[in-house]
Structure 1
Amino acid sequence: MRDNKGFTLIEVLITVSILLGVVITVIPLLQLLILEGETLTDRRYMNQELFDELQPFLWSPGRPLPQSQHTTFQANGMKAVYHFTQERELIKGCVEWTNVKEKRETICLYGVPRKK
């Protein structure tokens, strides 16, 4: 019997095919995770921007809401639009933008104005 100290061609082909299968599976998952991370970062940022924009209307009871129903601004390289409305005793603020997946997203916050 011979003393074999190397890999056969079949062993190498099986190893390469297993590694290729793992790589083909992992790369799309990583891309998806990166996109989801960017989407969540944008949501947090927009939520904070809306919160900051809504505060002056809540803390200054006589302050009127913007005359224009839509206020456009640039945030993190994205075009976003604010909407502010009065709903009974609450002030509703919404922000709309297109996320990195090219889908429209909307976040709305409600606030109770401070009493005079």
Structure 2
Amino acid sequence: MRNNNGFTLIEVLVTVSILLGVVITVIPLFQLLRLEGETLKDSRYMNQELFDELQSFLWSPGRPLPQSHHTTFPGTEMKAVYHFTLERDLIKGCVEWTNVKEKRETICLYGVPKKK
């Protein structure tokens, strides 16, 4: 029995505890990366939507400012609030929404309106 080359119970328990520690550390990191990816995707989407909304103010002079409106995007539960104001000679457009981490985000873009 002295030359038994198998694993002892202590060695197995140490190995399992190390693997468990690695798994417990890695799973929350993957969850955080997924949430950050969704947040970034939503931010890019809202930036593009704000750009599209701002174009109508830039190319149609005479629209009344300041102006605000709410939008709900189809296929998602995302709701956004757009604000458009005139600052100096620029039109400022901002969009606010709640991201997947339940935090309010705001993006603002500026544009030069078309001359009359």
TM-score normalized with structure 1 length: 0.90
The aligned counterpart of 1:23 is 23
Q: Please give the alpha-carbon distance, in whole angstroms, between the structure 2 residues aligned to 1:79 and 1:35.
A: 18
The aligned counterpart of 2:44 is 44
- 1:66 Cα shift? 6.0
- Say whether the 8 Å CA contact 1:92–1:110 is kept in structure 2: yes
The aligned counterpart of 2:35 is 35
Q: Please give the alpha-carbon distance, in whole angstroms, between the structure 2 residues aligned to 1:37 and 1:18.
A: 29
Q: In the TM superposition, what are the counterparts of 1:98-113 in structure 2 within 5 Å?
A: 98-113=98-113
Q: Which amino acid aligns with 1:78?
A: M
- 1:60 Cα shift? 2.6
Please list the CA deviations of residues 48-94 of structure 1 after superposition, one character each: whole Å capped at 9, or x if unmatched. 000001012112334x0467x32000123211100000112100000
Q: Please give the alpha-carbon distance, in whole angstroms, between the structure 2 residues aligned to 1:66 and 1:48.
A: 21
Q: Please give the alpha-carbon distance, in whole angstroms, between the structure 2 residues aligned to 1:93 and 1:99.
A: 19
- Say whether the 8 Å CA contact 2:82–2:95 is kept in structure 1: yes
- Say whether the 8 Å CA contact 2:95–2:106 is kept in structure 1: yes
The aligned counterpart of 1:70 is 68
Give me the CA root mean square deviation. 1.6
The aligned counterpart of 1:12 is 12
The aligned counterpart of 1:94 is 94
- Say whether the 8 Å CA contact 2:65–2:86 is kept in structure 1: no
Give me the identity figure in percent.
80
- 1:108 Cα shift? 0.3
Q: Which amino acid aligns with 2:96?
A: E
For structure 1, the residue ranges without an aligned partner over 5 or more in a row are none
For structure 2, the residue ranges without an aligned partner over 5 or more in a row are none
